[in-house]
Structures are given as structure tokens and as C-alpha cells.
């Protein structure tokens, strides 16, 4: 009897597992808010230079002695090509002649201008405050917005490395409890940041907590649920993140102040911290860590909650060890990162998956963190960007199950890249078409994520599966870190970021075609099994290709 059957023996998907999954889903549900929060907390409002002038002594006051606001802007700030006030410059001296309809100005470009020395005036009709308006992250400081998002993503990468190792050493439960507390404290501290530097530090720490919650939450969920229900549970978590994206649009609309919005999405993690003490440590990990007596106690607790107390009382250390011989043996084997590139087939799998993970995350965050670029209502497009995941993930599940993983992975990436590249040729004034193409691209990337999580776990053998997932997670985080930085290139060539965002998934989609198919194939246990299986598949493919020519060859031989 394996551990999976032992888990069924104490209740399978019973009351304990249902409560467990729901409580873990609550924290996952809110994670999307932190990942995409800067779309709203760092939204760029319309702005122009602040103008200090005594308008009562000007020659162009009206009958009430006041100068109209639009007239003041006209004489103090030059207009851009769209006849809107320039965002980063003002006239050195007031150009009163611009108010005289009879006067002629030979060349407006010859009028002397200067940077905004006295700050900016922001349009607060949509957002009452953002980190942009509070710390003037515009004009020469505008790239700091992208830097802040990259710093947050770097925190997610660091958290994956740090909390991944801690979970192997101290178990899944303790790091998860800590990460819920860290998310609550650092998220709340972010809302009270006194400076932009402090904001970035707290966001980095929040990103670390994000990674720890995902890794340890998923591990606990997988290790406490039966094999037959893992796909359903995994899909449910994916849709929780999708729903979270949709709800973020409504919460951000209702709370236009960035500090209050940051606070609202952070405080619930104090509740998660409190109830996470109820969680049971993974029995699998306890046995592998040499603590079988504690594992028996946890299993007996699960049995009681699942109303299987008699079955739980029959468990002891000897029964547990006999049922987990395979896990204990695999834990004693030593495998490192080198094993991901040591043999030809696994090396090819690793390289191709690196392309797929990096490009999917890179293009995904390149689109998802640039909602204002489409020129439509930011709350509406956030809602649409979240909602598109529902049909995208559903369609991907169908193609994964009936056509294959390789086809789904390659197709979704290539379609995403083509949708992004198509926007280069669409004029800026066709906002609806540009938005539709972006939504299609984002949906394809969501489907790609849905596929690659499953595909990666099936491609790597059991002995290096966690190591391979760690490499994949690192490449995805690198993609999300670099994505905001690429956005800065539009300062030099406006369409260059779209070319890069679109080309990356197309290249990785082509790379995905070199991966082995895993549809209806048992999970490999060892590296040798992966290598021999691939050689056998290649021989079968060669036989199929050569089969039509065999009769002619036989005739010639005769």
C-alpha cells in the first residue's frame, strides 16, 4: 500500500482536505491583487508643470479680474502635437501674445522653455493619489515606476530561492505561517511608506512573501490531497487567481487612493496568519525528515476530522515506513542542478522549458502591467484581462487532454506572439482593435501558463522534478523582472517593446515543438527512463516514416 492509498485510508478527499483547500485558496485568491497592484497604485495621471504667477497684474484679465485656467495654461505651457499641455516643460516667461487672436507667432518652437522647476499639477478625477503623484515619478523620474515593479518581481525570485530551501529544511507549515505574517506586515508597511525608497524595500519583501505562500501552499495542498483530485484542486487555484484579477478592478475603482488600496489588500493576510496555525504539517515531509512519530499524529488527526478515527488508531510508525519506502529511498538519493543538463534528452528538455517559462512570464507581464497604454478605461480592461482567463484556460484543458501538451504549448505561445506583433501595425486611435488583440494575446499566455505547469511536471523524472520546477520558476521570475525594464525602450523606439514582447513567445513556441509529448504517458521515475523512452519513441517515428518505402525497397532487392 502506497502513501496515496494510506491517505485514502484516513479519509481521502474528506472534510479535512476540503477545509484545507478552501483556507489555502483564500490566500491564493488575494495574491493577484499584489501582483498587479501597480497598475493602479502607480497609474499615471494627466499632468503638466505647476505655474506660479500673480494673474491680477497681467494685461489679459477678464472683467472679474481673473484669468481663465485654459488661458493661463496657454501662455505658460507649450502644447504638444495633440494640442494638450506639455508634461515636462513650461515657457521661461509668460507668452501673453498667445492670447491675442490678432497677434501672429512666427515659430512656437523658438520660444524658450525650461523643465518643471516648481513641481506638477495632476488630474485627480480618476485617482486621488498614486505613488506617481506623491513622489513625482514623471518626466526625468518616469522610469522609476518600471524599476519599482522589477524590484517587486526580484523579491518573488529571491523568495522562491530562500523559502524553497527553508521548506525543505523546516517543513511547509512553518514557512507558510511566516510568509502570511510577512505579507501582512510588509504590505501594510508599504501603505505607510514615507519615501519611494522605503516603498521599494517593502514591496521587495512583499514579493518574497508572495513566493513563499505560493510554493508552500501548493506543496501542502498537493501532499494532503489524493492523486485523483489534484487536477481539480490545481484548476480551482488557477481560477481563484483569475477571479482575484477581476475583483481587483472593482476594489481599485472603489478606492482611488493608493495608500488605502494597498492597505485593503494587505490587512486580510493577518487573518490568514491566524488560521494558518491550524494547518497540519505534511506527513510525507515528516517521514522523509526522520520524524515518523509526528507524521503518525498528523495522520491520526486527519482521520479524526474525516470521521475515520478507528482507521487512524491502527496507524503506527512501522505501517507508515512500510508504505513510504519509495519516498524515503528517493530522498536519500543525491541529485543536483547538474543532473538537469548532464544527459542529452533531459538537457534538451531543460533548455526548451527555460525558453518557454521565460517567454511566457516575460510577455504576460509585459501586457498585464501596461494597461494604460491601450487608452481605454483602466478598470474595464483589468476586468476583461482577468475574465479572458476563464475561456482561455478551459480551451487549453481540452486541447491538453485530447490533442496533446506539445501542440497546446507551441500553439498558445505562437498565437500570443502574433497577437502582440499585430498591434505594431494598428494605429493608436483604433483603441478597440488594439485592446482586442492584447486580450487575445493575454488569454493565450494564460493558457500557456496553464499548460506549462502540468507539462513541466510530466517531462522531468521524479528524482529531479523539484529541481526542474525550481529552474523553471527562476526563469519565469527573470522574465517578469526584465519585462518592465524592456518597457523603458519605448523612449527611444516606440514600437521596440512590442517587437521584443511578441518575438520572445514565438521563438519559445518553436522551441516547444522539440519537447517530447507526454499525453497518456506514465510519469517517469528516473533520468535513465526519460533517456530510453525518448530513444524508443524516435525509433518508432523512424519506422513510421520508412514504412511506405519498404515495398519498393523489397522489390528492388528481389
- The answer, yes or no, to whether residue 53 has pLDDT greater than 70, is no
Q: Give the C-alpha separation, 260 to 206, whole Å.
A: 17
Residue 489: pLDDT band by 50, 70, 90 thresholds?
A: confident
Query: Average pLDDT over the chain, rounded to whole?
Result: 82
The pLDDT tens digits for 495-540 are: 899 999 999 999 999 999 999 988 888 777 788 888 888 777 666 6
Phi/psi at 342 (5° precision): -75, -40
pLDDT of 128: 92
CA atoms within 13 A on the CB side of 370: 26
Q: Report the C-alpha gap between 203 and 130 in whole angstroms.
A: 15
User: What is the rounded average pLDDT of the residues 425-450?
Assistant: 89
What is the per-residue DSSP string for 376-424? S-HHHHHHHHHHTHHHHHHHHHHHHHHT-HHHHHHHHHHHHHHHHHHGG
Mean pLDDT of 56-77: 59
For residue 337, the 8-state DSSP code is G
Q: Over 90: is that where the pLDDT of 206 sits?
A: yes
| Residue 29: per-residue pLDDT | 82
| Residue 323: CB atoms within 10 Å | 19
Give the pLDDT confidence of 341-385 residue by residue, as tens digits: 889 999 999 999 999 999 999 999 988 888 877 778 889 998 998
What mean pLDDT is predicted for residues 434-442?
91
**Residue of 427 and 510 predicted with greater confidence:** 510
Which band of pLDDT confidence, cut at 50, 70 and 90, is reported for residue 68?
low
Instruction: Using the CB atoms, write b or e for 491-510: b if 16+ within 10 Å.
Output: eeeeebbbebbbebbbebbe
Cα 556–chain centre separation? 60
pLDDT computed for residue 299 by the predictor = 82
What is the share, in percent, of the chain residues with pLDDT greater than 70?
87
Element at 90 (helix H, strand E): strand 89-91
Residue range 319-339: mean pLDDT, rounded: 69
| DSSP 8-state class, residue 516 | P
What is the mean pLDDT of the segment spanning 185-204? 95
Q: What is the pLDDT of residue 335?
A: 72
Of residues 416 and 60, the one with the higher pLDDT is 416
| Rounded Cα–Cα distance for residues 254 and 275 (Å) | 28
Predicted pLDDT of residue 63:
39
Please, what are the domains in the chain?
Answer: 1-48+74-92+120-332 (1.20.1250.20), 335-553 (1.20.1250.20)
Task: State mean pLDDT over 26-53.
Answer: 84
pLDDT at 411 (0 to 100): 95
Residue 261's pLDDT is: 95
Grid coordinates representing 451 are 499548460
Sequential DSSP letters for 265-311: HHTHHHHHHHHGGGPPPPHHHHHHTT-HHHHHHHHHHHHHHTT-HHH
Amino acid at each position: 500500500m502506497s502513501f496515496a492509498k494510506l491517505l485514502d485510508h484516513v479519509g481521502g478527499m474528506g472534510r479535512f482536505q476540503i477545509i484545507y483547500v478552501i483556507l489555502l485558496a483564500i490566500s491564493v485568491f488575494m495574491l493577484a491583487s499584489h501582483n498587479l497592484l501597480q497598475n493602479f497604485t502607480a497609474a499615471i495621471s494627466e499632468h503638466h508643470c505647476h505655474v506660479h504667477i500673480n494673474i491680477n497684474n497681467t494685461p489679459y484679465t477678464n472683467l472679474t479680474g481673473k484669468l481663465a485656467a485654459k488661458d493661463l495654461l496657454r501662455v505658460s505651457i507649450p502644447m504638444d502635437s495633440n494640442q494638450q499641455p506639455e508634461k515636462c516643460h513650461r515657457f521661461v516667461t509668460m507668452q501673453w501674445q498667445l492670447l491675442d487672436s490678432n497677434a501672429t507667432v512666427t515659430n512656437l518652437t523658438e520660444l524658450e522653455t525650461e523643465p518643471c522647476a516648481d513641481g506638477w499639477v495632476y488630474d485627480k478625477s480618476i485617482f486621488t493619489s498614486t505613488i506617481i503623484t506623491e513622489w513625482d515619478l514623471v518626466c526625468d523620474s518616469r522610469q522609476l515606476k518600471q524599476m519599482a515593479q522589477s524590484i517587486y518581481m526580484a523579491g518573488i525570485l529571491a523568495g522562491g530561492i530562500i523559502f524553497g530551501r527553508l521548506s525543505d529544511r523546516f517543513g511547509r507549515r512553518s514557512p507558510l505561517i511566516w510568509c502570511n505574517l510577512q505579507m501582512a506586515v510588509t504590505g501594510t508597511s508599504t501603505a505607510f511608506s514615507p519615501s519611494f525608497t522605503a516603498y521599494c524595500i517593502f514591496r521587495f519583501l512583499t514579493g518574497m512573501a508572495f513566493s513563499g505562500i505560493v510554493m508552500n501552499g501548493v506543496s501542502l495542498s498537493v501532499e494532503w490531497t489524493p492523486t485523483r483530485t489534484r487536477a481539480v484542486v490545481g484548476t480551482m487555484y488557477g481560477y481563484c487567481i483569475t477571479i482575484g484579477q477581476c475583483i481587483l478592478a472593482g476594489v481599485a475603482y472603489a478606492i482611488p487612493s493608493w495608500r488605502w488600496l494597498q492597505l485593503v489588500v494587505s490587512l486580510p493576510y493577518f487573518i490568514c496568519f491566524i488560521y494558518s496555525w491550524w494547518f497540519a504539517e505534511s506527513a510525507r515531509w515528516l517521514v522523509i525528515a526522520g520524524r515518523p512519530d509526528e507524521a503518525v499524529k498528523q495522520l491520526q488527526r486527519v482521520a479524526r476530522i474525516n470521521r475515520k478515527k478507528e482507521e487512524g488508531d491502527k496507524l503506527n510508525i512501522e505501517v507508515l515506513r512500510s508504505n513510504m519506502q519509495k519516498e524515503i529511498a528517493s530522498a536519500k538519493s543525491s541529485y543536483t542542478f547538474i543532473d538537469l543538463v548532464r544527459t542529452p534528452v533531459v538537457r534538451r528538455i531543460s533548455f526548451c522549458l527555460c525558453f518557454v517559462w521565460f517567454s511566457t512570464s516575460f510577455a504576460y507581464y509585459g501586457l498585464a502591467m501596461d494597461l494604460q497604454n491601450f487608452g481605454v478605461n483602466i478598470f474595464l480592461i483589468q476586468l476583461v484581462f482577468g475574465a479572458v482567463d476563464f475561456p482561455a484556460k478551459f480551451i487549453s484543458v481540452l486541447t491538453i487532454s485530447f490533442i496533446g501538451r506539445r501542440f497546446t504549448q507551441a500553439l498558445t505561445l505562437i498565437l500570443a506572439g502574433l497577437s502582440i506583433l499585430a498591434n505594431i501595425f494598428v494605429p493608436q486611435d483604433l483603441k478597440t482593435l488594439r485592446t482586442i488583440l492584447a486580450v487575445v494575446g493575454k488569454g493565450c499566455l494564460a493558457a500557456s501558463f496553464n499548460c506549462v505547469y502540468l507539462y513541466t511536471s510530466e517531462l522531468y523524472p521524479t528524482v529531479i522534478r523539484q529541481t526542474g520546477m525550481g529552474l523553471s520558476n527562476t526563469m519565469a521570475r527573470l522574465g517578469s523582472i526584465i519585462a518592465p525594464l524592456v518597457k523603458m525602450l519605448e523612449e527611444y523606439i516606440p514600437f521596440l517593446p512590442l517587437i521584443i514582447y511578441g518575438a520572445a513567445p514565438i521563438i519559445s513556441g518553436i522551441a516547444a515543438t522539440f519537447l517530447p509529448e507526454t499525453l497518456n504517458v506514465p510519469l517517469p521515475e528516473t533520468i535513465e527512463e526519460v533517456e530510453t523512452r525518448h530513444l524508443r519513441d524516435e525509433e518508432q517515428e523512424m519506422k513510421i516514416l520508412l514504412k511506405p518505402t519498404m515495398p519498393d525497397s523489397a522489390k528492388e532487392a528481389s
